[in-house]
């Protein structure tokens, strides 16, 4: 599977490394140059406790620490740099 992301820094499409599996009913917030995607449901309907982090400057995904509970249909907000 090849996933591409448009880079506003390079003004071109770049390949995304280590893309996550699809999910729905998740929350995403951006802090500095990283997008944090939390919880949601996978394609089988399992509720997730995963935190995935997308680095906008490198177009790379990484795993964050698992959350202590599964979450779906929730909300989040980023304030300042936290």
Work out the angle at residue 56's Cα, subtended by the Cα atoms of residues 8 and 58, and round it to the nearest 5 degrees. Answer: 95
Query: Which SS3 state, helix, strand or coil, does residue 62 take?
Result: strand
Residue 7 has pLDDT above 80, yes or no: no
CA of residue 15 relative to chain centroid, distance: 16
Q: What is the pLDDT of residue 63?
A: 94
How many Å apart are CA 28 and CA 63, to the nearest integer? 14
What's the whole-model pTM score?
0.82
Q: What digits encode the pLDDT tens for the residues 46-58? A: 999 999 999 988 8
């Amino acid at each position: 599977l090849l996933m591409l992301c448009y880079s506003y820094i390079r003004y071109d499409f770049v390949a995304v490394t280590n893309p996550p599996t699809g999910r729905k009913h998740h929350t995403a917030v951006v802090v500095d140059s990283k997008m944090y995607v939390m919880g949601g449901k996978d394609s089988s309907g399992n509720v997730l406790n995963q935190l995935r982090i997308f680095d906008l400057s490198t177009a790379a995904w990484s795993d964050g620490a698992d959350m202590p509970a599964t979450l779906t249909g929730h909300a989040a907000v980023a304030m300042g740099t936290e």
